[in-house]
Amino acid sequence: MFKLKAAVFNGKRIVLKEVPKPFPEEHQVLIRVRAVGICGTDLAISKRKILTPIPIIIGHEFAGEVIDEKTDLDISWIGRRVTSEINTNICHKCYFCKRNVYSQCLERKALGIHINGAMADYLAIDVNLLHEIPNSVSYEEATFIEPLAAAYQTFEMMSINNDDHIIAIFGMGKLGLLLLQIAKKKGLETIVVDGSKKKLELAQQLGADHLINRHDNAEVPRIIKNMSEVGADIVIDASGSPQALKDVVSSCRSRGKLHIKSTHGEPTRINLTEIVQREITLYTSRCGPFKKAIDALKSNYVIVGKLNTHIYSLEQVEQVFNSYGNNKDHIRTILTNY
Ligand SMILES: [Zn+2]
Ligand SMILES: [Zn+2]
């Protein structure tokens, strides 16, 4: 039997393992995975903060080439460069599906979380989940389609109105830097907050108007209030840091919009009393529109190339997870497989 390499969470840690090669079933294609990003979700799985079946192949931010397919398909996908939706097994019948909210489908199974994912040589997946990658977008860049779609969803959940001028984004990791670029394109004045000088410099190159280094400034909300009179109109938390949430809430103006984008993988304290007293509207969001993200990459509307700060091969996955997060300038790691 053909074997393939895969990054498997065995209940204790991520290991590189040989597993049987999948075969495309009805309505499926087989993808040779070329690049896959590591995201906060993968890290949370590896620390057992997000519970999954065990063992499981992780990974959902991927790009690859279709090399085989079941013969029942209307058109052939062989040779095409693709990524796929993260939400699989969509029922098209439940309360949410009837309202086109597939990310909350009651039967949904997320790739690399509920079912085997893409951090492997090969992935078999339903053809109706595929998206073709434009020729001008590399496999490495295309691994951003899923997180960029999620960044778009952040803005789709909030209606920005005439009183919204200033946005503060906490955390200049992968998501923060994507959110920043979308916010700029929406004409918002941007304040970005992070503890890494390198990340703030990159944010500035990508158009950030004001930079605040958390390490040098103990009173971030006060600085933001000085810049904006009453606080930022919109505040997004993309820091993934429970400690930052106090400042995130305090930096938002009364009657402003507060969007918690990061998941923390565990229950987290937030000052609801302050949110209620100051009549702040709380938003959350997760998966988003892939088509919008693909168009943005194709037209260079959003720049992602510089955000892959660490590139390794799939074979190095164990060492990557062992040392993950040790570098505060780290933005994103991808694993390639050529
Ligand atoms: Zn992700
Ligand atoms: Zn459904």
- What confidence score (pLDDT) does residue 71 get? 85
Q: Residue 172 C-alpha to ligand 1 middle, in angstroms?
A: 16
Tell me whether the CATH fold assigned to 3-143+308-336 matches the one assigned to 151-284.
no
Q: Residue 100 C-alpha to ligand 2 middle, in angstroms?
A: 9
User: What ligand is nearest to the CA atom of residue 175?
Assistant: 1
- What confidence score (pLDDT) does residue 2 get? 63
Q: Residue 46 C-alpha to ligand 1 middle, in angstroms?
A: 14
User: What ligand is nearest to the CA atom of residue 101?
Assistant: 2
Q: Residue 146 C-alpha to ligand 2 middle, in angstroms?
A: 20
Assigned CATH for 3-143+308-336: 3.90.180.10
Say if strands 333-336 and 28-37 run parallel, antiparallel, or are unpaired.
antiparallel
Confidence of residue 328 (pLDDT cuts 50, 70, 90): confident
Over the stretch 254-305, which tens digit does the pLDDT of each residue have?
999 999 998 767 788 899 999 999 999 999 998 999 999 999 999 999 999 9
Please give the structure tokens belonging to residue 325.
Answer: 């997060």
Q: How many residues does the chain have?
A: 338
In contact, 189 and 169? CB cutoff 8 Å: no
Torsion angles phi and psi, residue 50, rounded to 5: -110, 125
Residue 19 β-bridge partners: 4
Nearest by Cα to 186 from 136, 122, 119, 234: 234
Q: Residue 42 C-alpha to ligand 1 middle, in angstroms?
A: 7
Distance CA 135, CA 62 (A): 16
Q: Between the CA of residue 4 and those of 10, 55, 61, 218, 335, what are the distances in Å?
A: 17, 15, 19, 50, 15
Q: Residue 84 C-alpha to ligand 2 middle, in angstroms?
A: 18
Q: Residue 108 C-alpha to ligand 2 middle, in angstroms?
A: 7
* Angle between helix 174-185 and 145-156 (nearest 10): 50
Q: Residue 88 C-alpha to ligand 2 middle, in angstroms?
A: 10
Nearest by Cα to 164 from 102, 92, 77, 253: 253
Rounded to a whole number of angstroms, the CA Rg of the chain reads 20
Mean pLDDT of the chain: 95
User: What ligand is nearest to the CA atom of residue 104?
Assistant: 2
User: What ligand is nearest to the CA atom of residue 50?
Assistant: 1
Q: Report the amino acid identity of residue 254.
A: S
Q: Where are the domains of the chain?
A: 3-143+308-336, 151-284
In contact, 283 and 157? CB cutoff 8 Å: yes
Distance CA 178, CA 239 (A): 13
So what's the architecture of 151-284 in CATH? 3-Layer(aba) Sandwich (3.40)
Q: pLDDT at residue 1 above 60?
A: no
Q: Residue 263 C-alpha to ligand 1 middle, in angstroms?
A: 11
Over the stretch 106-115, which tens digit does the pLDDT of each residue have?
999 999 999 9
- What confidence score (pLDDT) does residue 297 get? 97
Confidence of residue 217 (pLDDT cuts 50, 70, 90): confident
Over the stretch 176-188, which tens digit does the pLDDT of each residue have?
999 999 999 999 9
Q: Between the CA of residue 334 and those of 84, 119, 299, 317, 337, what are the distances in Å?
A: 17, 10, 23, 10, 10
User: What ligand is nearest to the CA atom of residue 94?
Assistant: 2
Over the stretch 165-177, which tens digit does the pLDDT of each residue have?
999 999 999 999 9
Q: pLDDT at residue 126 above 80?
A: yes
Distance CA 271, CA 280 (A): 11
Q: Residue 250 C-alpha to ligand 1 middle, in angstroms?
A: 28
